[in-house]
């Protein structure tokens, strides 16, 4: 089973870590070379409507997480993510938000952890 961590896309990962970008939109001001992303699964990111509603407001995070999990249920993109994670021993789910505790990668890590049990 893979060790899954979350990390800002602007931060580097330890060597040998497979980096999956889980944002629907490419991070501002970051070239593809500097991002060092192995896979971009934009469809696993929250919908545009949900992302705009959330607006990275920590007070909305619990409701955001609930709605996001609802969006992910039965999503082919979530299946793709699970397959990608299963193929590696260390994975970083990378995202561009400034808030390291209230973002979609945190929700995805939780969803992946629950499905592995």
| Model pLDDT for residues 10-48, shown as the tens digit of each residue | 999 999 999 999 999 999 999 988 899 999 999 999 999
Quick one: pLDDT at residue 2? 84
pTM of the model: 0.93
The residues near 38 (Cβ < 8 Å, ≥ 6 apart) are: 18, 19, 20
Q: Helix 104-115 and helix 76-86: axis angle, to 10°?
A: 70
| Range(s) of the domain holding residue 33 | 3-115
In the chain, the number of structural domains is 1
Is residue 60 within 8 Å of 53, Cβ to Cβ? yes
């Amino acid at each position: 089973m893979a060790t899954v961590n979350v990390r800002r896309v602007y931060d580097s990962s330890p060597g040998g870590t497979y980096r999956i970008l889980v944002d629907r939109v490419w991070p501002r001001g970051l070239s593809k070379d500097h991002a060092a992303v192995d896979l971009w699964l934009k469809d696993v990111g929250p919908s545009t409507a949900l992302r705009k509603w959330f607006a990275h407001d920590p007070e909305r995070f619990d409701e955001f997480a609930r709605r996001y999990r609802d969006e992910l249920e039965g999503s082919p993109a979530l299946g793709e993510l699970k397959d990608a994670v299963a193929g590696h021993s260390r994975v970083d789910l990378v995202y561009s938000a400034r808030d390291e505790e209230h973002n979609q990668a945190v929700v995805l890590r939780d969803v992946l952890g629950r499905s592995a049990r």
